[in-house]
């Protein structure tokens, strides 16, 4: 076991790593509060470099609606995505493994990142954090008490809008369904 690889050979993580196989890029998708960042951190402890769009936004601009006007969010998100792809390119080029913590709420966005990785010779595994709306809201209520780099404030109304607008991976997409510490695909 390499330094930093903790709890990678037990239970669900062992199973997940077997399903991921030799993919150099793991894309973690799901709505806010679904468990993406928690799962990405667990993969980070197993040797993956974590790239979090939320963390990148926070590091450069702070909290939307507090540190900068909400109307600048789309512009800042575009900037962060460009930087994320640059970092991802660097990880792939050096033979490293990356986990990308991003909603990937639309199939088209997932396709862009799959194509990006494939064009650089990296295999991709998609992990879908499939969490019921009630559980998402409960998590967000707790998370909203301490907003930070990995926990933007999300209201119930926003959670419902995100949940209803999320385009879950289809039957023609290869993915691993993550529901807490169990897999259902």
**Would you say residue 105 lies in a domain?**
yes
Please give the tally of structural domains in the chain: 1
Inside any domain, residue 23 = yes
Per-residue pLDDT of 152-178, as tens digits, reads: 778 888 889 999 999 999 999 999 998
Residues of the chain with pLDDT under 70: 1-10, 180-185
**Is residue 15 in some structural domain?**
yes
The CATH number that applies at residue 174 is 3.40.50.300
Nearest to 15 by CA among 52, 42, 37: 42
| pLDDT for res 97 | 98
Residues spanned by the domain of 107: 11-178
Tell whether 73 is covered by a domain: yes
- The pLDDT value given to residue 10: 67
Q: What integer pLDDT is reported at residue 65 of this predicted model?
A: 74
Q: Is residue 4 in a domain? A: no
Could you report the per-residue pLDDT of 69-82, keeping only the tens digit for each?
889 989 999 999 99
Whole-prediction pTM: 0.88
The residue to which tokens 């609606």 are assigned: 65
3 inside domain: no
Percent helix / strand / coil, the chain, rounded to 5 = 45, 15, 40
| SS3 assignment, position 129 | strand
């Amino acid at each position: 076991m390499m330094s930093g690889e903790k709890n990678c050979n037990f239970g669900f993580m062992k199973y997940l790593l077997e399903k991921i196989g030799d993919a150099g890029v793991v894309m973690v998708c799901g709505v806010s509060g679904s468990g993406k960042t928690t799962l990405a951190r667990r993969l980070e402890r197993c040797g993956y470099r974590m790239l979090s769009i939320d963390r990148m936004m926070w590091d450069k601009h702070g909290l939307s609606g507090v540190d900068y006007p909400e109307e600048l969010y789309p512009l800042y998100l575009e900037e962060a995505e460009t930087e994320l792809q640059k970092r991802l390119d660097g990880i792939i080029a050096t033979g490293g493994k990356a986990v990308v913590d991003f909603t990937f709420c639309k199939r088209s966005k997932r396709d862009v990142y799959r194509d990006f990785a494939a064009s650089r010779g990296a295999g991709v595994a998609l992990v879908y954090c499939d969490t019921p709306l009630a559980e998402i809201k409960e998590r967000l209520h707790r998370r909203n008490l301490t907003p930070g780099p990995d926990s933007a404030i999300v209201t119930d109304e926003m959670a419902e809008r995100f949940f209803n607008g999320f385009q879950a991976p289809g039957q023609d997409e290869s993915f691993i369904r993550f529901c807490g510490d169990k897999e259902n695909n």
